[in-house]
Amino acid sequence: MVELPALRWNPSAVLKIITTSNDISCAGITLKGLPCGYDLGGEPKLQARHLLNLMSQKSPRDTLDSLPQLARLCLCQKNHQKQAMSVVTKWAALIESHVSNLERDDTRRTDRSVDKPVPNRRDLTIHEIIAELDALSIRQAELTSMLQDANASDTGSRWISPSQNTANLSSQTPPSDSESSKSGQGGRSGSPSRDGWRALLRRGKLPK
């Protein structure tokens, strides 16, 4: 099946060539300023329809060169062929007006899409607000508990209680007096060294 080309616009409607009865009559103007309406005959009308179909597959401004040929087909041979230039001028103005309207509509659609306002947030009812607050409160309690557990775990891995520290110190064997005197060599005779003083302090004894 042959796929027909998509139509870009309807030249017969823009140029007002085809009548309400789906016919094509002479586009000339009589001396009284009225449409001629003379029947063009089968062959000119067939050629005019074919040309209009070709024009519909192009952009409107690209069909301006086809207007002289269309005018000759749409004017009766008897009286109005000499009006071809004036008809072309009128049709060219109609096409330009049509294109301008399309461009203006496109600009408006683009502006509306860019400046489209953000829809307002729906106002919550009192019950919905209370539910939201309850959910936030529960979540806050959960996060607080998680933070406390994390702090306790981190601190427990590094912190030693004072009681544990005292037990560690008590388990250490203080140096003997002979060791203290030896470690104090080079200083005043009979006085404990610095380490000896620390050992005596741990036992709560000071030299007299």
In angstroms, rounded to a whole number, what is the distance separating the alpha carbons of residues 13 and 87?
Answer: 15
Q: How many of the other CB atoms lie within 10 Å of CB of 6?
A: 7
pLDDT of residue 150: 84
In this predicted structure, what is the pLDDT of residue 94?
94
191: Cβ contacts below 8 Å, ≥ 6 apart: 184, 207
pLDDT tens for the chain, 208 residues: list them. Answer: 444 455 678 998 899 888 778 889 899 999 999 988 888 888 999 999 999 999 999 999 999 999 999 999 999 988 999 999 999 999 999 999 999 888 887 777 666 655 555 555 567 788 778 878 878 888 888 888 888 888 887 766 555 555 555 555 555 555 555 554 444 444 444 555 556 656 655 665 555 5
- What phi and psi, each to the nearest 5 degrees, are found at residue 160? -115, 125
pLDDT of residue 192: 55
pLDDT, one tens digit per residue, over 66-100 is: 999 999 999 998 899 999 999 999 999 999 999 98
pLDDT of residue 80: 94
The pLDDT score that the predictor gives to residue 29 is 92
In contact, 68 and 88? CB cutoff 8 Å: yes
CA atoms within 13 A on the CB side of 42: 0
Residue-wise pLDDT for 187-201, tens only, equals: 444 555 556 656 655
Other beta carbons less than 10 A from residue 52's beta carbon: 22
How many residues can be counted in the chain? Answer: 208
pTM: 0.49
Please say whether the beta carbons of 27 and 35 come within 8 A: yes
pLDDT at position 195, please? Answer: 64
CA 196 – CA 202 distance, rounded (Å): 10
List the structure tokens of 103: 């461009």
